Amino acid sequence: MNTGNPKVDWLRIALGVDAATLLRDPLVRRGSAEQQRDPVSSRPMPTPTLRLWRDDDGGVGDGPAVDAPPAKPAPPPPDPKAKEKWLNEWNPLVRRYNATDFEPSATPRLKELFDKWDSLSDDAKKKAKAGDYAGALAALPAAKDALKAYLDEAEAVDKATKPQAVAAANKVSTLVKKKELAGKTNAEKLELLNALRAPATKMTDDFKKAQFEIYKDLELDPKFVAEDKKKREQTVKTLVGTAKDKEEMKKMRDGWGDLKPDEKHAFIKKTVAAHCKALGIPAPKNVEFRDLGATRVNPTTIRAEGGNYDHKTGTLLINDYPDGPIGDFAETLKTIFHENSHHYQHELVDKLEKQQLSKEDPEYEEALLFQANFEPQGYVDPNAYNKDANEAYHNQPSERHSFSNGPDTAKDLLDALQ
């Protein structure tokens, strides 16, 4: 039977009871009366709460059970035999790879083959980690073929290039003994560097030593040095070219020790942007600040790096360690110009590789040296090898430029404030 009240009738059907039962409820009767008095209502109709069907309850509100989403079946337990077979086939493959000491980026073709092996082996590992040993085993043949192709190509590269690398190392040793290495042109030194790094096998200690010696005698290209001086002058003009800019910079200098971190950060970002404008390069994607702490060099000395630049992420990072360079205005300027010079170097290499630098460009020759320095085995870590590394570190093209341009630009800027 219908009550004449759409809400009550809907509730009756939803709950599975007859109209008489509902109308005996005083709340329902009151609602029905209200509906008759006010048949048009803007109030939303409440949705009744339906209880799930229970066999032990026969009261009002019981009705057909609401279907819950079916539970996902539990995955079958891993097949012990499949797991054992996987381990027996995977582990020898890993040992074979780990027994090599190749540099995947030695040639573009080698890098391509390595990336294929890396992707296929990673896919097999993920399946095994998920307990899908059958799927992992099925993925192994392609991974095995990829590893074989990579190792075969690496051995072929070594066979073709190792003799030239040995000859280059011997030549450098001879030139050093005769004190003739410094007299070689940058182009000749670059040729020796390329020969030392050509093999697929990572550089031996003899090859590294030869690279150190070349770096120690490398000079910045004269045309690049002249161009760099122009850019320093433009940087100073951009930052303190007006009387107002100069007064603001003086206030920063004089009150640096009292500034809050956020105020220092804002100044650094502004200075980086101005430097980039003078260099003719885009600003870094990110300028970030993080407390990198300091390293104790000896019982009485600690050393805190100023920061670093990562071209892959486009991030210029400044060490926010309070007692580090950021605590001093002049040292902060040196850090900004040093690290942003690395950004500039990478931008030059990008232009070189996109063929946007002509041989007549004053930055061309130095860009070739930066490119060699940024090769996978081209950068010298000062703590990586031995005492010879420190001198080679400071004299490798990218650091030699940054260690001169950073302080020189800071000095020119501070002098302009006098």
CB-based burial label for 45 (10 Å; 0-12, 13-18, 19+): exposed
Residue 274 lies in a domain: yes
Q: Are 280 and 385 contained in the same domain?
A: yes
User: Considering the domain boundaries, does residue 98 fall inside one?
Assistant: yes
Distance of alpha carbon 366 from alpha carbon 110, whole angstroms: 27
Mark whether 188 and 297 lie in a shared domain: no
Do 112 and 193 share a domain, yes or no? yes
Token pair of 155 as six digits: 């051995």
Based on the fold, state whether residues 103 and 165 are members of the same structural domain: yes
Helix axis angle, 205-216 to 186-197, nearest 10°: 160
Sign of CA dihedral 124, 127, 131, 137: negative
- Please indicate, yes or no, whether residues 84 and 182 belong to a single structural domain of this protein: yes
333-361 pLDDT, tens digit per residue, is: 999 999 999 999 999 999 999 999 999 99
**Domain end position, chosen among 169, 185, 216:** 216
CB 206 within 8 A of CB 169: yes
Residue 259, pLDDT score: 96
* Identity of the residue numbered 145: D
Query: Which token pair is 10?
Result: 């809907």
DSSP-assigned letters across all residues of 223-273 = HHHHHHHHHHHHHHHHHH-SHHHHHHHHHHHHHGGG--HHHHHHHHHHHHH
Do residue 305 and residue 357 come from a single domain? yes
User: Which has the higher per-residue pLDDT, 7 or 109?
Assistant: 109
Q: Are residues 203 and 333 in the same domain?
A: no
pLDDT at 48 over 70: no
State which residues form the domain around 188. 80-216
pLDDT(203) > 70: yes
Q: Residue 39 has what DSSP assignment? A: -
Mean pLDDT of all residues in 232-253: 96
Residue-level pLDDT at 86:
92
Confidence of residue 80 (pLDDT cuts 50, 70, 90): confident
In a domain, 74, yes or no: no
- Are 142 and 36 in the same domain? no
Q: 274: how many CB neighbours lie within 10 A of its CB?
A: 21
Question: Is 281:347 a contact under the CB 8 Å cutoff?
Answer: yes
| Whole-number average pLDDT of the chain | 85
Within-domain flag for 329? yes
Residues 227 and 363 in one domain: yes
Task: Confirm whether 9 is domain-assigned.
Answer: yes
CA distance 157 to 112: 14
Residue 58 pLDDT greater than 50, yes or no: no
Q: Do the domain assignments include residue 71?
A: no
358 phi-psi bin (left φ>0, alpha ψ -120 to 50, beta other)? beta
171 and 191, same domain (yes or no): yes
Q: 302 and 401: one domain?
A: yes
Q: Does residue 2 lie within any of the structural domains?
A: yes
**Nearest-angstrom CA–CA distance, 286 and 309:** 10
Looking up tokens 């090898």, which residue turns up? 385
Residue ending a domain, choose from 190, 216, 242: 216
Residue 103 domain-assigned? Answer: yes
Statement to judge: residues 165 and 232 lie in one domain: no
From 216, 231, 256, give the residue that closes a domain. Answer: 216
Q: What is the mean pLDDT of residues 122-147?
A: 95
Q: How many domains does the chain have?
A: 3
